[in-house]
Structure formats: C-alpha cells, structure tokens
Structure 1
Amino acid sequence: MTFLYFAYGSNMLPARLLGRCPSAKVVRTGVARAWSLAFSKASKDGSGKATLVIAPNSAVPGVIFEIDLAERERLDRHEGVGSGYRRDDTFAIEGSTVPASSYLGTSLDHTLRPFDWYLATVIAGAEYHGLKAPNGETDARLRVIYSNGTESDLLLRSLQRALYKDEAGRRITEPSAGPLFDDQTDDSDQASGTIYVLRSKSDHPVVAENRAVLHKIGVTGGSVERRIANARLDPTYLMAEVELVATYELYNINRAKLETVIHKVFGAARLDVEIMDRLGRPIVPKEWFLVPLFAVDEAVNRIKDGSITGYVYDPESARLVTR
C-alpha cells in the first residue's frame, strides 16, 4: 500500500526525500490553495523551517509524491511529528479528488529566518520540478514584515530590486581576481582544464543533512577520476568516497585564476566544518560549498562568456547576482 505526500519545502528535492523514503516517486506538481509559505516553524538549531500558514487569497505550489505506507513512520520522525510539526492526512490539493498527507508547523515564530543552505535546498527543489507561482511566473509572493510591524505580500524579485536600489545599501566584495583569459602566459597556465563538481558520501552529520546541496567545486588539468581515487583517505574530500556529479571542459584558461574566481564567487556559501585527518589532526576543507547544481551551471556559463567576474553567489536567493 502507498500514500500520497505533498511536499512544499526542502523535501521537494528528490535527492533529499529519497534519503528518507527510498520508495518515493513523483506523481505530479500541485497547488495548495488558501495557504501561504512561511519559514516560521521553530527548529532546534535556532532557524526557521518551512511551514504553511492559512492565507485565503494565496496559494503554494509543491510536489506530490507516492510513498510506501511502510515508510510513513520514518517520514514522521524526520519531519518532527510531535516536535513542532503535525501530520495532516486530509490535505487538499487543487485538481485532486484524493487527499494527501502533508506536515504543518505547530510551534511558530515569525521572527525566525531560514539558514542559507536550507533556503537553497527549497529553491533547488522548486527549480528541479520547474515550479512556478500560481500566476504562472517564476516570481513568487513573499511575506515581508517591516521593522514598524506592518506586513506586505511583496514579490520576491521586487524585494531584491528594492534592496539593490537602496542608496543606503552596501555590498562588500573582494578585489577582482584578474582576467581568466590572459594574453600573457605563466607557469600555471594550461591549454585546457576541467571544472569538476563532487558530492560527498560522508556520514558526518552536517554533510548528511545537506548532501543534496553540498558540492565540492575544483579545477584540474588531469584526470578527475585519478584525482578522487583515494578520496576516503584525504581530508580535502572529507575523508569519504565521493560521487562525480558534473564536469565542464574549458579551453585556453589560466587554471589557478579560474579556481580563485570560482571560490570567490561562491565564498558566501562555503561549508564551515572541521574534519579529522588520518593522524587525528583537525582540517577545515576550503572547496565545499552549499550551492545547488543549477547555480554551478550558471556560473560555468558565465565563465564561458567572460561575465563571471561581475557576479557573486547570494545564499539568500540561491542565485548569482551582480556585484
């Protein structure tokens, strides 16, 4: 037997949900009417997690999964039933005559904010399924609470534009790393290079929790397979086996400068975790970032067209934005 599950938060990303419910299969996308998405469910880590709040004139897109009934209890534990969430087995989805199960927050604090990695996971899930707002646009309404206590359902992109136009706003960035494609050559230049993206198989709690959006981004002039052959013995790879999820071939580039630029672009999302090497010494890896794969794809495209130095990754929106 199976049941239907309506995901609207981080579980929309299949890689995340499958780690909890291996039988989960996508049925279709759907819309929950008279609800609004909020990040006000109080989490043990002090952040806000996704929940739905009643809003008669709003709607929230999500994904309907079919899951084996034997895995319901496991999903309940992961979602925190009885510890801040409740399960609603009569949740109505527009266009469906069969109710689904979904999880709603019971311990809410509207002053909370989601962690960057969590928001990136939610956005990655929406991007994966091509979700759009109920008006058919990729933009969406965001509940904004101002310092004077007033509230507004502002379009997310409108909020971003307003922040950029604010004359009092400031963005602090590092100096330019210099051109990627030089006419001058030096010893670090290579005729070609490969950008590779890895996903860790480590069972470290931080890694396991963020596995769907945690990626190592590196550059090499040799074989990627040879480079990662002994990953489980190298703290650079979190002392664990890794999965190669993407490679991008580039030509006539300065590899050293390219790697510097990539790490500066994604610097705000760098993973901060301490790993012990084989001798028990603490190591903090520098090339792991909490970014969805689609953001890496965009960065590579901008490397190819030469515009990357004008952009930086913004964890708040999980996108590249102009500096």
Structure 2
Amino acid sequence: MHPKKHPETLSKLGRQMNVYYFAYGSNLDSKRLTGRCPSAVKVKIAYMSNFTLCFPQCNQAGHLVAGFCESKDRKLWGVIYRIEDKDIENLYQAEGFKAGRSNSSNSYLKISDIKLSNEDGSPNTYKVITFKQNKEKMQPPEGKLHSDEYLRFILDGYEEHGLHAKDTNTYSRLKSYLNKQSA
C-alpha cells in the first residue's frame, strides 16, 4: 500500500505502516476483527458524540447491519484498533468498500480524521478511519432482522471492552433484539 492512497496511514521509521480504525459494530469483537485483520491490536476505547449505533441497511443476505445515526446527547462507543497496512484490504472488503470506486458503488463509505472523545471525556481529533453506511445504497430495513451471529459479535465486543457498562441503553436494546429473535 502506498501512503498517498491511505492518508490515515502512519509511518514509524522503518516499521510496518499502520492504520488506526474506529470499530463500533461487529468488529468490536476482537476475535472477529483479528480473523479478518490478524495484525489488529486494541489501542483505546473512545466515543463519538451525538451519534448512536443503529441498523439502517441490510447486507447481501438480507440481514440488518450496523451503522451510526445522529442522536443528540448520545454516544457511539467503540474501540480504536491499530491495523498493519498489509491487512487493510481485508477490512475494506468486509466493510463493502473498495478504494477508487465511486461512492455510489460502495456499501459503506470510509471516513477519516474523526472527532472522538477519549474514555475520560476529553475530546480529540484522531487520524483514524471508520465506515459509515452509504445512504445511496441503503435498503429499507422494515421487516428485516439481524442475524443472531451478528448481534452476538456486537454484544461480545461490548462485554469484552466493558462498553456494556458505559452504554447500558444500547447494550439492553441489542440484548432485546437477540431475545426477540430467539423466542
């Protein structure tokens, strides 16, 4: 990968190039993420103010998948991971993103330089990437369900990183989705 193609890539004097990624959905689960990107390492917990986890579109299998939606006074909690540049294409593929392709062809859009707050509430603009649902590609999710496996990845990620205690509303909502579908 060439740094000009990935401006969020940071070089460290002869070391592997790294990308910093803000995970907020199923990639919160470190086992899932390292299955896609073996070099992924947790850096820190952070959140994006005035956004919340939502499920605004469906994947190719017809199941609801995570995104984030504006929501005043809410927090979208997540984890910043460091991923070696050699693994970033795997992440792009998993997110339905292809660099160089028009936005209308990508399921999710890559966004960079995100304003996040540290776990203690101190604000910062991080040179990280994340993916936001592409409004042009959104399918109406009425009547669609999440897959149990997908919900479990998100719930496991919340528990793994202690986010279930920081965002009890979202965690409870996710558990209720799983319980409704299992009933």
Same structural fold, with TM-score higher than 0.5 when normalized by the shorter chain: yes
Is 1:59 the counterpart of 2:75 in the alignment?
yes
Deviations 1:183-211 (A, max 9, x none): xxxxxxxxxxxxxxxxxxxxxxxxxxxxx
Q: Shift of residue 30 of structure 1? A: 0.9
8 Å CA contact 2:22, 2:81 repeated in 1: yes
Deviations 1:236-288 (A, max 9, x none): xxxxxxxxxxxxxxxxxxxxxxxxxxxxxxxxxxxxxxxxxxxxxxxxxxxxx
Q: Shift of residue 57 of structure 1? A: 2.6
Aligned to 1:75: 91
In 2, the alpha carbon distance for the partners of 1:47 and 1:69 equals 30
Q: Shift of residue 74 of structure 1? A: 2.1
Poorly superposed stretches of 4+, deviation over 4 Å: none
8 Å CA contact 1:90, 1:101 repeated in 2: yes
Q: Among residues 146, 149, 153, which one is paired with 1:121 in the alignment? A: 153
Residue 14 of structure 1 aligns with an amino acid whose one-letter code is: S
- Which blocks of at least 5 consecutive residues in structure 1 are unaligned? 143-154, 161-313
In 2, the alpha carbon distance for the partners of 1:4 and 1:96 equals 14
8 Å CA contact 1:120, 1:318 repeated in 2: no
Secondary structure in structure 1 of the residue aligned to 2:42: strand
Q: Among residues 87, 104, 108, which one is paired with 2:110 in the alignment? A: 87
Q: Shift of residue 317 of structure 1? A: 7.4
Deviations 1:145-187 (A, max 9, x none): xxxxxxxxxx639x96xxxxxxxxxxxxxxxxxxxxxxxxxxx
TM-score with structure 2 setting the length: 0.72
Aligned to 2:132: 104
8 Å CA contact 1:61, 1:132 repeated in 2: no
Q: Among residues 164, 168, 181, which one is paired with 1:139 in the alignment? A: 168
8 Å CA contact 1:42, 1:84 repeated in 2: no
How many residues align? The count is 151
Deviations 1:274-316 (A, max 9, x none): xxxxxxxxxxxxxxxxxxxxxxxxxxxxxxxxxxxxxxxx943
Residue 52 of structure 1 aligns with an amino acid whose one-letter code is: F
Aligned residue runs from structure 1 range 250-261, under 5 A = none
Aligned residue runs from structure 1 range 164-313, under 5 A = none
**Cα pair distance change 1:63/1:77, threshold 3 Å:** same
In 2, the alpha carbon distance for the partners of 1:92 and 1:57 equals 15
Q: Shift of residue 113 of structure 1? A: 2.6
Aligned to 2:179: 316
Instruction: Tell me which protein shows more helix as a share of its residues.
Output: 2
In 2, the alpha carbon distance for the partners of 1:72 and 1:141 equals 28
**Cα pair distance change 1:110/1:35, threshold 3 Å:** farther
Aligned to 1:156: 173
Q: Which has the larger radius of gyration?
A: 1
Moved more, 52-61 or 118-127: 52-61
Q: Among residues 50, 57, 82, which one is paired with 1:41 in the alignment? A: 57
In 1, the alpha carbon distance for the partners of 2:164 and 2:73 equals 17
Residue 316 of structure 1 aligns with an amino acid whose one-letter code is: N
Is 1:29 the counterpart of 2:45 in the alignment?
yes
In 1, the alpha carbon distance for the partners of 2:26 and 2:83 equals 17
In 2, the alpha carbon distance for the partners of 1:8 and 1:28 equals 12
- Which blocks of at least 5 consecutive residues in structure 2 are unaligned? 1-16, 98-104, 118-122
